[in-house]
Amino acid sequence: MYKLSTEALLEKAITTPELTHEELVQLLSLPDEQIPQLMAAADTVRQNTVGNAVHLRGIIEFSSYCKQHCAYCGLRADNREIERYRLSPEIILETAQAAVDTGYHTLVLQCGEDMKIAPETIAELTTEIKQMGAAVTLSCGERSYEVYQLWRKAGADRYLIKHETADPALYKSIRPGHTLYERLQCQHWLKELGYQLGSGCMIGLPGQTVDILARDLELMKEMEVEMCGMGPFIPHAQTPLHFGNTGSISMTLKMMAAARIYMPWMMLPATTALVSLHPEGRELALRAGANVIMPNVSPETTRSLYQIYPGKLNHRDSMTDYYNKITALVEAEGRTVGTDLGHSIYTAYHQ
């Protein structure tokens, strides 16, 4: 099949998101010395579509209890070596109010699949945080249609549930007892209920290929995903995937840039996993098409206990100091901090 030169392909990428599977594979296979050109193309697309703003979403990790057995994650139920915690509704609301007062316009409530927190409690928290004037993203794993509906009715705007990998066999091996189909069923329900859908995948999973990574992007386009979080896989000693290699920063940047080019409307965060591996991970991500940063606003007492993977970024700043640091970083990159709720532009883009 006819293959474009890198230069011609990047020129095409700036003008149209219609890339073939082979072209995505070609972008993801670029040698390291050509990554700056790919990032520059993604940066142009980013500026032309979602603009200069970087949206800050404060994330509250409110419970580290989880009933699941994901082979990659340190919070898996079988890991008896971590200290678990669950924040009280009072602490969650206090934290959320402090974050809103600091300047955050979105709060992300994330947890393991903790069945001891009633869905009604999460619904009430959602409604109360909405009343503070912030948008709410929930990231609480796989639940029933009825539970997603309850939370949507309570006011949740967005839901983050990554597909993790687009390869059904690889998916089965990293989430024993579950199928990719079930995960996508949840994503379909969330779309149907009117949530802005966040998905994403890990980069560098054992057995993953460039072909699978290209399919990750294709799957997200097909699912009409509005936010995609992609971070390097970081092996955790107390998990079955402890033997794996750490995902590469270059491949993560290539995936982010390719995602921006292929799905220009996307809300694309600089993931904590990337920032945990590279001191300038946020700056690199912002240059590769990112337009979202998700600073951790969880209370300091429990922040270090949410051990999804080892070496997870754990700052010790006050809420205000951290917000100011991130704002300074964003501005040093020639960008501005978003002043609105930072909703998806998916619908407007497709009109």
141 binds ligand SF4 per the rule CB under 6 A:
yes
Here's the x/- map for ligand SAH, 43-82, by CB under 6 A: it reads as -----------------------------xx---------
70 binds ligand SF4 per the rule CB under 6 A:
yes
Which listed option, ligand SAH, ligand SF4, none, makes contact with residue 233 (CB within 5 to 8 Å by class)?
Answer: ligand SAH
Nearer to ligand SAH, 232 or 342 (CB): 232
Query: Measured between alpha carbons, how far is residue 348 from residues 83, 106, 145, 154, 223 in Å?
Result: 45, 20, 27, 25, 17
Smallest gap from residue 234 Cβ to ligand SF4 (A): 12
Which listed option, ligand SAH, ligand SF4, none, makes contact with residue 76 (CB within 5 to 8 Å by class)?
Answer: ligand SF4
C-alpha–C-alpha distance, residues 13 and 279, integer Å: 29
What residues have CB less than 8 Å from 324, skipping those under 6 apart? none
Contact in structure between 95 and 120 (CB atoms under 8 Å): no
Contact in structure between 306 and 264 (CB atoms under 8 Å): no
71 binds ligand SF4 per the rule CB under 6 A:
no
273 binds ligand SAH per the rule CB under 6 A:
yes
C-alpha–C-alpha distance, residues 227 and 197, integer Å: 6
DSSP assignment letter at 296 = B
Question: ∠ at Cα 337 (336, 338), nearest 5°?
Answer: 110
Nearer to ligand SF4, 76 or 335 (CB): 76
Contact in structure between 38 and 30 (CB atoms under 8 Å): yes
Residues touching ligand SF4, count (CB under 6 A): 9
Residues touching ligand SAH, count (CB under 6 A): 18
68 binds ligand SF4 per the rule CB under 6 A:
yes
> H or E element: which one contains 326?
helix 319-332
Which listed option, ligand SF4, ligand SAH, none, makes contact with residue 234 (CB within 5 to 8 Å by class)?
Answer: ligand SAH
Smallest gap from residue 77 Cβ to ligand SF4 (A): 7
What residues have CB less than 8 Å from 263, skipping those under 6 apart? 17, 217, 220, 221, 225, 228
Among 28, 35, 39, 75, contact with ligand SF4 (rule: CB under 6 A): 75
Distance of CA 223 to the CA centre of its chain: 15
233 binds ligand SAH per the rule CB under 6 A:
yes
229 binds ligand SF4 per the rule CB under 6 A:
no
Contact in structure between 217 and 255 (CB atoms under 8 Å): yes
Among 234, 259, 285, 319, contact with ligand SAH (rule: CB under 6 A): 234
From 39-47, 83-91, 107-115, 288-296, give the range in contact with ligand SAH by CB under 6 A: 107-115
Cβ atoms < 10 Å from Cβ of 308: 23
107 binds ligand SF4 per the rule CB under 6 A:
no
Query: Measured between alpha carbons, how far is residue 189 from residues 154, 234, 281 in Å?
Result: 16, 30, 33
What residues have CB less than 8 Å from 265, skipping those under 6 apart? 49, 50, 226, 344, 345, 346, 349, 350
Nearer to ligand SF4, 186 or 285 (CB): 186
Among 309, 326, 338, 342, contact with ligand SAH (rule: CB under 6 A): 309
Q: Would you tell me which residues interact with ligand SF4 (CB under 6 A)? A: 66, 68, 70, 73, 75-76, 112-113, 141
Binding site for ligand SAH (CB under 6 A): 72-73, 110, 112-113, 139, 141, 161-162, 164, 202, 231, 233-234, 236, 273, 308-309
